[in-house]
Amino acid sequence: MFDKGALHAVRFGLVDAAYDYDGDDWAGDVLAPWLRERPSFVATVRRVGAPDMHAAPLAAEDSWALYALSRVVDLLLLDHQPARNDEAAWVGPGAYGALADAFGGWWPHGAAYHPFLHEIVEVVPADDPAEPPSVVREWWPGFLCNALLVTRGGVTVRAGAEVLDPAVAAGSPLYFTWRRRYRRAVDLSHGWGSNSQWRTGFRRDYLADGAFHYNVDGAGRPDDHWDGLTPAEVADLVRYRAGTLVDRGGDAWPFDTRVRDRATI
């Protein structure tokens, strides 16, 4: 679907350019001219985002190109996250919004907390231990390209301790994620060499046909799992991408599992 060389165009033209940039308008200086030269890349991302694509296979090379784009997104999100003391700003907070706009990104602003839509950055304990999660702060909005979830929104939630353990939900390893400032990320590219790491597939999640489709390229179901977790625990690890009450560490394997839920937005 993507033009030949799309992966390398994103890797060298956007990811490396984010590392090398020392100006104050990355969106104008780097992103805008890159997009002007590659309108077919934007058009292809939008085609992959079509609702019916949740049931269609994607060639490995196309998934790698989307993964490269997700690396750009992760870099641009760093300016929106709680920073460690030794981390400086990256390319400025406006760059992420410019990227989302360039792909026709949309977001259900004000939607109630849901693991499909929201990544937990922080948990405020509620007095009622059974209180369900509710959004109390947005660190960054997520965005969908048509029906394809490109990235979730980062939020602080309030919840009871029987629903979310504050330390676990906000601090356990975050799967399907290349980089975060505030917590450990676990990604299939980690540990590979400078070239091999880019042959990593993008996790595709869709809001389509009245359902949340998580990790549609996974071949397994939660009850296929065999490493000591229950099917419900496996499904939650795919939904939340992290532990909620129990820290599963960084050695669980949710990468091959798909989940489908009825949509609630």
Per-residue pLDDT reduced to its tens digit, 122-143: 999 999 999 999 999 999 999 9
pLDDT of amino acid 101: 97
Q: Indicate whether 108 pLDDT > 90.
A: yes
Residue 1 domain flag: no
Q: Indicate whether 84 pLDDT > 80.
A: no
Q: Indicate whether 93 pLDDT > 90.
A: no
pLDDT of amino acid 265: 83
How many domains does the structure of the chain reveal? Answer: 1
Residue 102 domain flag: yes
Q: Which residues share a beta bridge with 143?
A: 151
- Considering only CA atoms, which of 67, 224, 229, 91 is closest in space to residue 150? 67
H-helix segments, the chain:
6-10, 16-20, 26, 32-37, 39-48, 60-77, 94-102, 166-171, 231-240
pLDDT of amino acid 23: 87
Residue 64 domain flag: yes
Which region among 46-55, 166-175, 203-212, 219-228 has the lowest average model confidence (pLDDT)?
219-228
Residue 53 domain flag: yes
Residue 31 domain flag: yes
Section 98-119 average pLDDT? 97
Which domain does 129 fall in, by range? 6-262
Tell me how crowded residue 247 is: count the other CB atoms within 10 A of its CB.
15
Q: Indicate whether 245 pLDDT > 80.
A: yes
Read off the pTM: 0.95
| Two tokens, residue 253 | 């394997």
Q: State the first-to-last Cα distance of the chain, in angstroms, to the nearest integer.
A: 30
170 CB contacts (<8 Å, ≥6 apart)? Answer: 120, 121, 122, 123, 183
Give, in degrees to the nearest 5, the angle at Cα 223 between 232 and 251.
75
